[in-house]
Amino acid sequence: MNDNELDIASRDPALYNADLAPIKKTERRWGAFEIFNVWSNDIQSLFGYTLAASLFLSYGLNGWAVMAAIILAGVVVMFLVNLTGKPSVKYGIPFPVMVRASMGVHGANFPAMLRAIIGIFWYGVQTYFASTAMALLLTALFGDPGGTLLGLSTIDWISFVIVWAFQIAIFWSGIERIKHFLNWAGPLVYLVMIALMGVVWIQAGSELLPAIGTIFSGEEGDGGGNPITAFLAITGTMIAYFAAVVINFGDFTRFVRSEREMKLGNLLGLPLNVAFFSFIALIITAGTLVIFGETLTNPSDIVERVDALPLTIIAAITFFAATVGINLVANFIPPAYDLANLFPRKISFRVGGLITAIIAFFIGALWVTVISRIGVPGFVNALGAVVAPFYGIIVVDYYLVKRQNLDLEAMFSSAPDSAYYYTKGWNQRALAAFGLAALFSISSVWVPALEALGGYAWLIGAGLGGLFYYGFMSRHTAVAPAP
Mean per-residue pLDDT for 207-217?
72
Q: How many Cβ atoms are within 10 Å of 54's Cβ, its own excluded?
A: 16
* Confidence (pLDDT) at 3: 52
Q: Among the listed ranges 14-23, 59-68, 436-445, 459-468, which one has the minimum average pLDDT value?
A: 59-68
At 1 the pLDDT is 46
Reply yes or no on whether the pLDDT at 6 is more than 60: no
Instruction: For the beta carbon of residue 206, count every other beta carbon within 10 angstroms.
Output: 7
Average pLDDT taken over every residue of the chain: 83
Q: Which of 45-59, 155-169, 179-193, 436-450 is least confident?
A: 45-59
How far is the CA of 156 from the CAs of 134, 139, 149, 160, 372, in angstroms?
Answer: 8, 9, 10, 6, 17
Share of the chain above pLDDT 90, in %: 31
By mean pLDDT, which of 214-223, 227-236, 386-395 is the weakest?
A: 214-223
* pLDDT in the model for residue 378: 61
CB atoms within 10 A of CB 205: 11
pLDDT in tens, 292-336: 777 777 776 777 676 667 767 777 777 778 778 878 887 888 899
Q: Is the pLDDT of residue 2 over 60?
A: no
- Name the least confident of 43-52, 83-92, 411-420: 43-52
Quick: pLDDT tens for 98-157: 999 999 999 999 999 988 888 888 888 888 888 887 887 788 777 777 777 777 888 889
Domain boundaries of the chain, sorted by first residue? 34-367
Q: Rounded to an integer, what distance in angstroms lies between the CA atom of residue 97 and that of residue 327?
A: 22
Give the pLDDT band of residue 262 (cuts 50, 70, 90).
Answer: very high
User: Which are the contacts of 438, defined by CB distance < 8 A and separation ≥ 6?
Assistant: 386, 389, 461, 465
For residues 297 and 221, give the distance between their C-alpha atoms in angstroms, rounded to a whole number. Answer: 14
**What mean pLDDT comes out for the span 340-365?**
90
DSSP, collapsed to helix, strand or coil, labels residue 7 as: coil
Mean pLDDT of 41-61: 75
Residue with the bigger pLDDT between 440 and 402: it is 402
pLDDT at residue number 75: 94
pLDDT above 50 for 480: no
pLDDT mean over 428-442: 91
Among 50-59, 213-222, 426-435, the range scoring the smallest mean pLDDT is 213-222
pLDDT band, residue 481 (cuts 50/70/90): very low
Pair 284, 194: CB distance under 8 Å: no
Supply the angle between the helices 46-58 and 309-326 in degrees, to the nearest 10: 100
- Model pLDDT, residue 222: 47
Determine whether domain 34-367 maps to CATH 1.10.4160.10: yes
The pLDDT, as a whole number, for residue 12 is 79
Q: Give the C-alpha separation, 330 to 98, whole Å.
A: 18
Cβ contacts of 425 within 8 Å, gap of 6 or more: 104, 105, 106, 107, 414
Q: Which three-class secondary structure state does DSSP give residue 343?
A: coil
Burial (CB count within 10 angstroms: exposed 0-12, middle 13-18, buried 19+), residue 349: buried
pLDDT, tens digit, for every residue of 266-292? 999 999 988 888 888 778 877 887 887
Nearest Cα residue to 332 out of 133, 176, 172? 172
Distance CA 388, CA 105 (A): 20
Model-level pTM? 0.85
pLDDT of residue 62: 73
Identify which of 325, 254, 309, 287 has the alpha carbon closest to the alpha carbon of residue 91: 254
Evaluated on CA atoms 396, 399, 403, 406, the torsion sign reads: positive
State the CB neighbour count (10 A cutoff) for residue 159: 25
- The pLDDT, as a whole number, for residue 307 is 65
Q: Hey, how many other C-beta atoms are within 10 angstroms of the C-beta on 477? A: 5
Element (DSSP H or E) covering residue 179: helix 175-204
